[in-house]
Structure 1
Amino acid sequence: MTTAEFIREYRERDIRQLALQANRFPDVDMPYALDQIQGWQIARRKLPKWAACDGVIFPPHLSMEQCSSEPTAQYKLNLAMEWASRVGHASRMTDLTGGFGVDFSFTSCAFAAATYVERNEQLCHIVEHNLPLLGLNNATVVCADAVEYLSTVEPQTMLFLDPARRDEHGAKTVMLADCTPDVVQLLPKLLEKSRFTMLKLSPMLDWHKAVDDLQGTVREVHIVSVGGECKELLLVLSKVVESELKVYCADLSTASDTSSLFVYTPGSSAPVANSKLKTQNSKFVHEPNASIMKAGCFDELAAAYGVSPVSRNSHLFLSDEPVEGFPGRSFVVERVTTMNKGELRKALVGIEKANIATRNFPLTVAELRKRLKIKDGGDVYIFATTTAEGEHLLLISRKYR
């Protein structure tokens, strides 16, 4: 059996079990085969179009772990197209930190010509092999250091950078100054060589500090979530387009669909008064999505959708009526109870299972679940929170629609 035949036949098997059976397949390049099988298994979930493409070569595990998913890569393509249209130019782009090439394979479609730059020779060979299979014929692959190449490149419509976020010991870094290459140091050259630059950064990064560090050049901040988890922080830098900073909170559902998008200008709204919860009123409770939580734009959200915060630190919002298009999840509040034992017993009658979340509450989910003696799951949602007056309450709810 050849290595290629082995990969095709066993690609749905557990790689740990396959590794233990290596002696059975003396003609198979087992380290390479296991890399390809593991890569394909990740791609089937993360990059289904790539997994479905015959002949694509996958890199070692770390590159697969770090690469974008199809939904986030598609988002970057849409963003590149929007900005290319805005600056009236879509001739060429360069990705200075190409990696496995997922982002490049998408964003390059917005331009007449595109250059992939990567200092890892192995990745360059892999990408050079994969691009034609993916139908990309406008691309050039260059094996070079990003900083050195930037000093020689001709002016581009877009430059793209995804700085390495690991130190020399392999530990993850999230500070802009700790990334490689140093974007702050490269800033004058990036502005000189592009009409706009797109930066992909860690979702753990403090975007306010990143904007400050980049000295007034950031025009847009995009906080991108998939499946309820914040995945990427994108910054668009430009000296061409002068405008107020805007923040985009995107929650993606599929590769071609944005389930919710909230756009705001930081500091544009005054604080909204806290809600006065009453146990006899049935209200709606709204939980913002992960991008909103990362952005911290709670006043702007409340003003835009006419909802009221339970308290300044609850990050839960209430309304008397349904709120269409709210960027997050909405629930019908069926009962509200304090932590008084008698009230609790009455409010929890008939509830054996529930999904519990704590927001600005003195107990953890595990501690509260133990106290309530309720199993996990079901269609009941209990939000444990604290009001502006310091009262601890449980909002017993069910999903709206």
Structure 2
Amino acid sequence: MTTAEFIREYRERDIRQLALQANRFPDVDMPYALDQIQGWQIARRKLPKWAACDGVIFPPHLSMEQCSSEPTAQYKLNLAMAWTCKVGHASRMTDLTGGFGVDFSFTSCAFNAATYVERNEQLCHIVEHNLPLLGLNNATVVCADAVEYLSTVEPQTMLFLDPARRDEHGAKTVMLADCTPDVVQLLPQLLEKSRFTMLKLSPMLDWHKAVDDLRGTVREVHIVSVGGECKELLLVLSTVVESELKVYCADLSTASDTSSLFVYTPGSSAPVANSTFNIQHSTFLHEPNASIMKAGCFDELAAAYGVSPVSRNSHLFLSDEPIEDFPGRSFVVERVTTMNKGELRKALVGIGKANIATRNFPLTVAELRKRLKIKDGGDVYIFATTTAEGEHLLLISRKYR
């Protein structure tokens, strides 16, 4: 059996079990085969179109785990297309930190010509092999250091960077200046050689600090989540387009569908007072999506949707009417109880399991679950929070949508 035949036949098997059986397949390049099988299994989840494409070669495990998913890559393509319209130019782009090439394979579709730059020679060979299979014929692959190549590059419509977020010891970094290459140091060149630059950064990074570090050149901040988990922070830099800073909080459900999106201008709304609601049966409870939680734009959200915060630190909102387009999850409150034992016993009658979340509450989810003696799961949602008056409440709810 050849290595290619082995990969095709066993690609749905557990790679740990396959590794233990390596002696049965002396003609198979087992390290390569296991990399390809593991890569395909990850791609089936993150990159289904790539997994369905015969002949695609996958890189080692770390590159597969770090690469974008199809929904986030598609989001970047849409963003690149929107910005080519703003600057009236779509001639060429360069991705200075190409990696496995997922973002490049999507964003390059917005331009007449595109250059992929990567200092890892193995990744360059893989990408050079894969791009034609994916139908991309407008691309050039260059094996080079990003900083060195930037000094020679001709003016572009867009430059794209995804700086490495690990130091020389492999530890994660969350400060912009600690990433490689140092975008702050490269800023003058980036602005000189592009109509706009797109930066992909860690969702752990403080976007306020990053905007300050980039000295008034950031035009848009995009906080992108997939299925409720914050995945990426995108910054768009430009001196060609002058505009107020806007923040986009997007939660994606599929590659072509934005399930919720909230756009705001920082500081555009005055602080909203704590809720004056008498929280009771049929009150609507709203939980913002992960991108809004990361952005911290709770006053702007409350003003835009006419909802009231339970308290300043609860990050939960209330309304007396349903809000169909709220960017997050909405629930109908069925019961409200304090932590009084008698009240709890009465409120929890018939509830054997529930999904529990704590917001500004003295107990952890595990501690509260143990105290309530309720299993995880089901269609009941219990939000434990603290009101502005310091009262600890459980809001027993069911999903509205």
Q: Same fold (TM over 0.5)?
A: yes
User: Percent same amino acid among aligned pairs?
Assistant: 96
Q: Structure 1's 30 and 280: CA in aligned 2 closer, same or farther, altered over 3 A?
A: closer
Structure 1 residue 269: Cα displacement: 0.3
Deviates most, 240-249 or 339-348:
339-348
Distance in 2 between the 1:102 and 1:220 partners?
A: 22
Distance in 1 between the 2:343 and 2:24 partners?
A: 66
Q: Structure 1's 279 and 201: CA in aligned 2 closer, same or farther, altered over 3 A?
A: closer
Q: Structure 1's 372 and 277: CA in aligned 2 closer, same or farther, altered over 3 A?
A: farther
Q: Deviations over 1:310-369 (max 9, x none)?
A: 000000000000011000000000111111111111111111111100000000111111
Distance in 2 between the 1:64 and 1:350 partners?
A: 45
Distance in 2 between the 1:170 and 1:129 partners?
A: 29
Structure 1 residue 302: Cα displacement: 0.3
Distance in 2 between the 1:264 and 1:277 partners?
A: 26
Structure 1 residue 376: Cα displacement: 0.9
1:268 aligns with 268
Q: Is the 1:117–1:143 Cα contact (8 Å) retained in structure 2?
A: yes
Structure 1 residue 272: Cα displacement: 1.1
Distance in 1 between the 2:73 and 2:280 partners?
A: 47
Q: Deviations over 1:361-386 (max 9, x none)?
A: 00011111111111111111000000
1:257 aligns with 257
Distance in 2 between the 1:21 and 1:347 partners?
A: 56
Q: Is the 2:306–2:319 Cα contact (8 Å) retained in structure 1?
A: yes
Q: Is the 2:67–2:99 Cα contact (8 Å) retained in structure 1?
A: yes
**Secondary structure at 1:152 match in 2:** coil
Q: Deviations over 1:14-63 (max 9, x none)?
A: 00111111111010000000000000000000000000000000000110
Q: Is the 1:279–1:335 Cα contact (8 Å) retained in structure 2?
A: no
Q: Is the 2:280–2:333 Cα contact (8 Å) retained in structure 1?
A: no
Deviates most, 341-350 or 133-142:
341-350
Distance in 2 between the 1:318 and 1:279 partners?
A: 8
Structure 1 residue 276: Cα displacement: 2.5
> Could you list the runs of 5+ residues in structure 1 that have no partner in the other structure?
none
Root-mean-square deviation over aligned CA pairs: 0.7
Q: Deviations over 1:147-168 (max 9, x none)?
A: 0000000000000000011111
**Secondary structure at 2:151 match in 1:** helix
Q: Is the 2:176–2:210 Cα contact (8 Å) retained in structure 1?
A: yes
1:232 aligns with 232
Distance in 1 between the 2:326 and 2:366 partners?
A: 29
Q: Is the 1:333–1:398 Cα contact (8 Å) retained in structure 2?
A: yes
Distance in 2 between the 1:357 and 1:268 partners?
A: 30
Deviates most, 70-79 or 272-281:
272-281
Q: Deviations over 1:140-187 (max 9, x none)?
A: 000000000000000000000000111111111111111000000000
Q: TM-score, normalised by structure 2?
A: 0.99
Q: Structure 1's 279 and 322: CA in aligned 2 closer, same or farther, altered over 3 A?
A: closer
Q: Is the 2:357–2:365 Cα contact (8 Å) retained in structure 1?
A: yes
Distance in 2 between the 1:280 and 1:301 partners?
A: 22
Distance in 1 between the 2:277 and 2:199 partners?
A: 43
Q: Structure 1's 280 and 69: CA in aligned 2 closer, same or farther, altered over 3 A?
A: closer
Deviates most, 301-310 or 342-351:
342-351
Q: Is the 1:336–1:393 Cα contact (8 Å) retained in structure 2?
A: yes
Distance in 2 between the 1:275 and 1:127 partners?
A: 54
Q: Is the 1:288–1:316 Cα contact (8 Å) retained in structure 2?
A: yes
Structure 1 residue 281: Cα displacement: 4.7
**Secondary structure at 1:76 match in 2:** helix
Distance in 2 between the 1:124 and 1:353 partners?
A: 51
- How many residue pairs align between the two structures? 401
Q: Is the 2:339–2:394 Cα contact (8 Å) retained in structure 1?
A: yes
Structure 1 residue 280: Cα displacement: 4.4
Structure 1 residue 277: Cα displacement: 4.0
Structure 1 residue 94: Cα displacement: 0.1
Distance in 2 between the 1:180 and 1:282 partners?
A: 51
2:399 aligns with 399
Distance in 2 between the 1:152 and 1:77 partners?
A: 25
2:188 aligns with 188
Structure 1 residue 282: Cα displacement: 2.7
**Secondary structure at 1:240 match in 2:** coil
**Secondary structure at 2:43 match in 1:** helix
Q: Is the 1:386–1:392 Cα contact (8 Å) retained in structure 2?
A: yes
Structure 1 residue 279: Cα displacement: 5.1
Distance in 2 between the 1:214 and 1:145 partners?
A: 22
Q: Is the 2:97–2:146 Cα contact (8 Å) retained in structure 1?
A: yes
Q: Is the 1:279–1:337 Cα contact (8 Å) retained in structure 2?
A: no
Consecutive aligned runs of 4 or more in structure 1 exceeding 4 Å deviation: none
Distance in 2 between the 1:283 and 1:122 partners?
A: 57
Distance in 1 between the 2:112 and 2:163 partners?
A: 25
Q: Is the 2:203–2:231 Cα contact (8 Å) retained in structure 1?
A: yes
